[in-house]
Structure 1
Amino acid sequence: MMVIDNQPTHTDPTSSVVDKVKQMVGVNTSEPTPTETAMQDRPILKFRRVHIIVNPASGQDGLKLPALNKLLKDLEIEWEMFVTSRGGEAGERAKQAIAAGVDAIVVYGGDGTVLEVASSMAGSDIPLIIIPGGTANVLSVELGIPADQSQAALLLGSVPNAIRTLDMGVLGGGKRDGDDQSDLFFFHLGMGLEGEMHEKADREAKDRSGMFAYVVAALKTLSNPTTSHYHLTLDGEQVEAEGINCMVTNFGSVGVSGITLSHAIDMSDGLLDVIIFQDANLSSLLSAAASAVTSGELAQPLLQWQAREVTIVADPKQTLVVDGELIDVDSITIRVMPKFVRVVVPAQSAS
């Protein structure tokens, strides 16, 4: 059973230091500030029974089980843990958790593992709690979930939290290894530069170097990018464009807090965002970097559309990557799945 606790949250352990500073500058510490009052008034969702799905092959050092066990004990949460050993198993474990009637499913892993679990939760009101464990964790960054796994685990009921309902995309005819589904659910699909980059950033390099593996792979790929002609059908409208990368995404995060591909992207608006990166010359990259620093978004040199149904034909054909996994499909036909999965996020990230 999921419980809403409206009791005030515990005082931050740094509050005594803050109070001393306030006293030094003559601020009355007996009355909370508006921000402090708002945080105290926010309810906390608590969960009595959870299943935890762990991908041990994720790009970080592994789940900190002693700390997580202590937190679960302190919160009086009944739990079971399942460690995956093959592709598709995380999704199977999610379906078993739903059948078991748990209050929430906790997943430790990267964006690929999170997607596998999320896509198996269709038609369920059970929320997903993400403990980031991958190389990039762009989905967690987008949702404001702490990168530190101990802090992320507090969303189980130690800090103000909320449920955010997210859209997903579905790729017709796509499937992962070990998955018998005819459709593939996703948050982010990329082709071209992204596909080549993931091919060069192999699993060993990701485990060894983390995000640096992607940077090295990107630099190698950018030295000789392939330009393709994209024929797009967006809700029935035909669009032609040239570029080195085309993506269909539901999040704008690039893995760096505060910087997004576009401020128009909303994970809950019922629309997919189609973005084409036109070129990779130095001046364009510097322009994009400058835009990110000043406005928080990579506005140039990107082309962007929004649609509910998308078909893409690339000439020449490009490598396709879906939520961090290379996928081989004959055609790319995509539609949006509105309000498809519920995710527990920090209270301040719910809107």
Structure 2
Amino acid sequence: MRPGRRPNAVNKVTTTAPSARAPMPARATSHQGAPIMREGEGSMSRRGRCTIEATPLPTGAPCVTLSAMATQRAGVPALDATPWAPPAAVGVVMKPFRSLAATDALARALECELRRWGVVYELVRTRGPGDATDLARRFLTDGADALVAVGGDGTVAEVLSALVGTGVPLGIVPRGTGNQLAMNLGIPKALPAAVAVALAAQPRPLDVGNLDDGRVCALNVGVGWAADLMLACPPEFKRRWGFAGYVAMTARLALRPRRRRFRVVADELEWVGDAATVLATNCPVLYVPGSPLRLRLAPDAAVDDGRFDLLVAAPRHGADAVNLLLRLARDGAEGDRRLWRARARTLTIEADPPAPVQRDGDPAGTTPLRLVVEPGAAHVRVPPAPPPPPA
């Protein structure tokens, strides 16, 4: 903020697309010490220009404030009195959201929240599959010390592919169809609360599964029924129908479960037989957004226990499949003979005939599949655990 200007004055800042990308600075501040903003191509409109309503911070104001009152208003529990140090330079990878107008509106709201935190940032939108990984690597090269993924489970997995082994934490702003990883981690969907967690919450180790093709998964990898569902719900379908489309397609496939011959090797254990689906998950619950329904796929699973939990489901017909889903929702179907469960660090799945594979909600080829778990290979910022109930 320049001397003589009122602290609460609103300035219009017009930016144009840079001809060449300069490396992201480790820290950028004004001459009075208040952080200044760096605009990226993610904030540009079709014409390559944008007008940003920027409200400068008052002189002498702290760069980051995370009071209990602010976080409670945002809809999440208050963070610790001494929160984790927010990053100095943040790279934001955002997947376009439905229409261009909705994407622009989300980008403006997101930039407003980032400016409130006083961090140096660059926001870039993805253009296609795999683009999020390339953008994340570019941010790391430019010197970003934290990344934020704005999208669903597939976008998060692509960004994590670049972060594995770097120690750079990832913040998640859930804006996808399912947002299963974010929901299992307790990350709120409300934008102010999600940004607060993404920037200032303490990172938690996250196990990732490495696939043969070099990609990683953080949520789950599935073969058979689980992958058939993803193939039946392409991006256009998800944009139009949202998670309700998933539910309808799940019911349709459940009434006609297709059984295949599988050979599954989980560490030293082996299972061979006919089944409808094989799922290796890093999270305990599959949520149905907008409803209290949740499938307890692996009640004992944890994202940082060094293993993926394996679930082989073998319903005999449609009514049997529906009954199994209801049992998973009610009590996790513990002891059910239609299920085979295991926990493993190395997993191999073969199918006859070859079956489609899905990784974190996106198609990932066909079997055979080999997955190796890398414990704690990534770090994700998550809300603090709620305090224990009083004795």
Q: TM-score, normalised by structure 2?
A: 0.72
Distance 2:112 2:89 in 1: 15
- Could you tell me which amino acid in structure 2 is paired with residue 231 of structure 1? R
Q: The residue matched to 2:375 in structure 1 has which SS?
A: strand
1:328 alignment partner, SS class: strand
The residue number in structure 1 matching 2:340 is: 303
User: What per-residue deviation string (whole Å, max 9, x for no partner) do you get for residues 167-208 of structure 1?
Assistant: 111121x3xxxxxxxx22112111111121122223222111
Cα displacement string for residues 68-119 of structure 1 (whole angstroms, at most 9, x for unaligned residues) = 2222222111111111112222101111111222121011111111101101
The CA deviation string for residues 26-82 of structure 1, in whole angstroms up to 9 with x for no partner, is xxxxxxxxxx9x955462431221011111156995462333222222211111111
The equivalences for 1:161-310 within 5 A come to 161-172=201-212, 174=213, 183-187=214-218, 188-256=220-288, 260-279=296-315, 281-282=318-319, 285-286=322-323, 288-290=325-327, 292-293=329-330, 295=331, 297-299=332-334, 300=336, 301-310=338-347
Other structure's SS at 1:347 match? coil
Instruction: Look up the match of 1:46.
Output: 86
Aligned letter for 2:344?
A: A
Whichever residue aligns with residue 139 of structure 2, its letter is A
Structure 1 distance, partners of 2:305, 2:80, is 29
Match of residue 354 from structure 2: 317
Q: Is the Cα contact below 8 Å between 1:163 and 1:350 reproduced in 2?
A: no
Cα 1:166/1:13, change in 2 over 3 Å: closer
Which SS does the other structure have where 1:146 is aligned? coil
Question: Which amino acid is 1:263 matched to?
Answer: P
1:337 paired to 2:374: yes
Q: Distance in 1 between matches of 2:245 and 2:320?
A: 24
Q: 1:343 to 1:298 in 2, by over 3 A?
A: farther
One of 10, 25, 29 as aligned partner of 2:68: 10
Identify which of 135, 143, 153 aligns with 1:93.
135
Q: Which amino acid is 2:225 matched to?
A: L
- Structure 1 gaps, min length 5: 16-35, 175-182
Structure 1 segment 34-113 matched on structure 2, within 5 A: 41=81, 43-56=83-96, 61-62=102-103, 64-113=106-155
Task: Provide the C-alpha distance between the structure 2 equivalents of 1:94 and 1:148, rounded to a whole number of angstroms.
Answer: 24
Amino acid in structure 2 at the alignment position of 1:9: S
C-alpha distance in structure 1 between counterparts of 2:72 and 2:373, whole Å: 44
Residue 194 of structure 2 corresponds to residue 152 of structure 1: yes
Partner of 1:32: none
Aligned to 2:39: none
Q: Shift of residue 152 of structure 1?
A: 0.9
Mapped partners of 2:245, 2:350: distance in 1: 29
Per-residue deviation, 1:157: 4.3
List per-residue Cα deviations over 1:203-227 (Å, max 9, x = no partner): 2221111001111211221232111
List runs of 5+ in structure 2 lacking aligned partners: 1-25, 28-62
C-alpha deviation, 1:290, in angstroms? 4.9
AA partner of residue 109 (structure 2): A
CA distance in 2, matches of 1:271, 1:14: 34
- Distance in 2 (alpha carbons) for counterparts of 1:298 and 1:312: 23
Mapped contact 2:209–2:374 kept (Cα < 8 A): yes
**Which deviates the most, 43-52 or 253-262?**
253-262
2:207/2:374 contact within 8 Å kept: yes
Query: Which secondary structure does the structure 2 equivalent of 1:266 belong to?
Result: coil
The separation in 2 between residues aligned to 1:343 and 1:232, in whole angstroms, is 30
In structure 2, the partner of 1:24 is: none
Identical counterparts, % of pairs: 24
Go from structure 1 to structure 2 and tell me whether the alpha carbon gap of 1:290 and 1:88 turns closer, same or farther (over 3 Å shift): closer
Q: Is the 8 A contact 2:94 2:149 kept in 1?
A: yes
- Higher RCO, 1 or 2 (CA under 8 Å, sep at least 6)? 1
Q: What CA distance in whole angstroms lies between the structure 2 residues aligned with 1:283 and 1:105?
A: 44
RMSD (Å), alpha carbons:
3.0
In structure 2, do the counterparts of structure 1 residues 154 and 233 end up closer, same or farther at CA, with 3 Å as the change threshold?
A: same
Return the letter of the residue paired with 2:156. Answer: V
TM-score (norm 1): 0.80
Cα 1:40–1:321 change in 2 (3 A) is closer
| Cα distance in structure 2, aligned partners of 1:193 and 1:84 | 29
